[in-house]
A and B are shown apart, each in its own frame.
Chain A
C-alpha cells in the first residue's frame, strides 16, 4: 500500500515537469524534430483538402497562374498517402485531374495517373525524377509531396530562440542537384519555416519560405509559401485557402472512378 502511494506521488510530480520540458529547456534529438516537422508539413489530420493558387513570376516579371484543389488522405502517419489534384486554371488544363498514390518507401515509386477530359482518357504516368518542376512552377514535385526522410542524413546545426536549424545531406549525392539543404523548424509548432538549398559549390541557390502560418482546426498550417530560384530569378507563390482537415474522405475517392468524375469535395 505504501509503495503505491510513493509511485503516485512520483508520477504526479514528474508529469508536469515532463510536459514543461518541451518548450523550455531540453532539445529533442534530431530524429524527433524531423519526424514531427514531417508530420506537421505533410500529414496533418487523417485527411485534408485545400484550394491552391500558384503565381509563377519569371525574371522578366511575366506571371502565370495555376489554380487547383487538392484532396489528401494518409494511409499511415509519416508513411503512404493518396492525393487527388483537380485543376481549374489555366484554361488549357481545366478539369484535368491528377492522382497520386505516394509511397514513402524510397525503393518504391509513386503511382500516378492523369485524366484528360477532352479525350476522356485515363493516362498512367511513368515514375519521374522527383526533382522536376511541379506544373511548370518553381516548386518541385518533391517539395509538394514531401521528400522521404530516409534519403538524407540529418544534423542539428543550430538552436535559436525560435527554431531548430537542421542540415540535410543526401545519402546519394548524385541523385540530386543540391549538395545539402538547411531547414529552420519552428520550436513551438514544428512548422518548417525556411528551407535553403546549396549547390554543389556550396552556394545558396534556392529558398522556400513559409510566409504565413495559421491555426486551422488546431493544426498549424502553412497558408502561404514562396519559393525563389536565385539562379533563374524566377519565383512562385503558393496560397492555400478553404483548408479543412479530417473530412472523413473515403478510400474509394482515390480511384479511377473519381478521376473521371471528381468528387464534389474536390470541385468546390
Chain B
C-alpha cells in the first residue's frame, strides 16, 4: 500500500514539475531578448509531459493485465556556445506496472567541431545508422525492445549509448567511429513485464523465470567499437560497416544454464540507398561472426549468421506512403547446430521476414494513420503495429495503437509474444 502512495506522490510530483517548468521557459525566453545571463549562455528548454496507458487483450498467466500505465516528463535542455553544443535530455516517469519511479537519462553530451573536417560527440547519446526501417543489421547500438512491444513512442526503441563518436569528413569518403568504453546491451525482454519462450523450461515464462544475465561490465576492457565508412555518389549513399563487441541481446547461456550471456560478436557489412523509380530503395548485408563459437558447435552460444535486407518505399497516393522490406537471417553452421543443439523446438536455418509499412496523413497532416507489419513465412508468425496519432493543437497530441502478435508456435521470434497483444492510448503535451 505504501508503495502505491509512493507512486502517486511521484506522479503528482511530475505534474507539479510540469506546471512550474512551463512558466520557467516563458521567463527564460523573455530574458533572452535582453542582455542577461541567458543571452550569453542561452538554454533552450523543451520537452513534453505524457500519460500513457494500455492493457493486454488476453490473459497472460505470467504477467499483469496492465501492459503500460505511466506518466512521464521529458526535459530537453540544449545550449550552443562558441566552442560547442551541450545537450541534456532526461525522462522522469512513474510506472504503475512495476510500481516504481524511474529516472532515465537519455542524452548528456558535448558536441565539438575541433577541425573543419572533424566532429566529436562525447557522452550519453542516441546513435543510429544503417538503412533498415525497424529492422537492423549494421546498427548495433542498443535497442529497447521492451518499450517497443508495450506501446511507448517509437523514439524509445533507441536506447542511449555512453560513447564517444568521432566523425571525419573527407573528399574521398567520410568516417564515423563510435567507441563505447563499456558494453551497452539492449533493453531486452527478460520476463519482468513481457512473457517469452524459455528454452530451458520448454514453455513460455515471465515473472516466474526472469532472465538473469552475466553481462560484460568492465570499463575499457568490455568495450565496443563500431565504424562506418560512407560516401555519397550522385545521391546514392554507399556505406561499409564494422563492429567489434558482443551480441546485444543475450546470445547464449553459461555452462550451468543459469545465466544468459552476451558472447563476443564481430559484424562486417555494407549498404546502398538511393532513388529507384519514384521511390527509395535500400540494400544492406551483414556478416555476424559469433567469435566465441566460430565452428558453430557450442550449443550454448549463437551461431554465426549472414543477414540480408532489401527495401523499397514510395508514395502511392497523396500523403500516403508504402514501404516493403524483405529480410533474411541465415545460420551459417546449421549442420553443427543440428548435431549439437539442445532439446526442444529447433529453428530453421533461414528466417525470412517481410515487412509492410503503410502511412497515411489526413486532416492537413494532423492525423497520421500508420500500420507496420512484420510477417515471417518461415516462423509463421506476425507482429502488427497499428497506430493513429492526432495533433489536436501545436502542443497536444493524442494517440491510440496496438501491438498484435500471431503465431503458429510459441517458440518463434514473434509467436512467443502472443499473450503480450495489447492496446494503448496516450496523451502528450509538448512544450
Contacts and interface: CB of A to CB of B under 8 A. Distances in A.
- Tell whether A and B belong to one assembly: yes
Interface of A: 56, 58, 62, 64-65, 89-92, 94-95, 101, 109, 111, 118-122, 124-129, 131-133, 135-137, 234, 252, 255-257, 261, 264, 267
A111 B366 CA distance: 24
A92 B391 contact: yes
B128 A92 contact: no
B365 A257 contact: no
A89 B395 CA distance: 10
A90 B366 CA distance: 12
Interface stretch (B65-73, B311-319, B328-336, B377-385): B311-319
Contact of B119 (A136, A234, A261): A261
Given A111-B235, A118-B155, A133-B365, A124 B280 contact: yes
Chain B contact residues: helix, strand, loop or mixed = strand
Contacts of B366: 64, 136
B314 A126 contact: yes
B365 A255 contact: no
Contact of A255 (B48, B232, B278, B391): B232
Contacts of B78: 95
Nearest to A268: B80
A119 B126 contact: yes
A114 B199 CA distance: 42
Given A109-B278, A121-B128, A126-B280, A91 B119 contact: no
A136 B364 contact: yes
A127 B315 contact: yes
Contacts of A58: 364
Contact of B364 (A120, A126, A133, A256): A133
A257 B395 contact: no
B256 interface: no
Q: How large is the interface on B (under 10, 10 to 19, 20 to 34, 35 or more residues)?
A: 35 or more
Given A90-B395, A127-B275, A234-B364, 17 more contacts: A58-B364, A62-B393, A64-B393, A92-B397, A101-B235, A109-B275, A120-B125, A120-B158, A124-B237, A125-B280, A127-B279, A135-B365, A137-B364, A252-B169, A256-B174, A256-B232, A267-B80
Given A91-B431, A234-B364, A261-B119, A119 B395 contact: no
Contacts of B167: 257
A94 B73 CA distance: 17
Nearest to A250: B116
Contacts of A252: 169
A130 B274 CA distance: 19
Contacts, number: 92
B39 interface: no
A90 B431 CA distance: 8
Contacts of A65: 394
B394 A89 contact: yes
A141 B235 CA distance: 21
B77 to A, nearest CB: 12
Contact of A120 (B119, B127, B274, B315): B127
B248 interface: no
Nearest to A137: B364
B278 A56 contact: no
Given A90-B395, A92-B430, A257 B127 contact: no
A217 B345 CA distance: 74
Interface in B146-171: 154-155, 157-158, 167, 169
A91 B365 contact: no
Given A64-B393, A126-B313, A119 B275 contact: no
B312 to A, nearest CB: 9
Nearest to B174: A257
Nearest to A66: B394
B128 A128 contact: no
Nearest to A89: B394
22 contacts: A64-B366, A92-B48, A92-B430, A109-B278, A119-B157, A120-B126, A120-B127, A126-B279, A126-B314, A126-B315, A127-B279, A131-B318, A132-B318, A132-B319, A136-B364, A136-B366, A234-B364, A255-B232, A256-B174, A257-B119, A257-B174, A264-B80
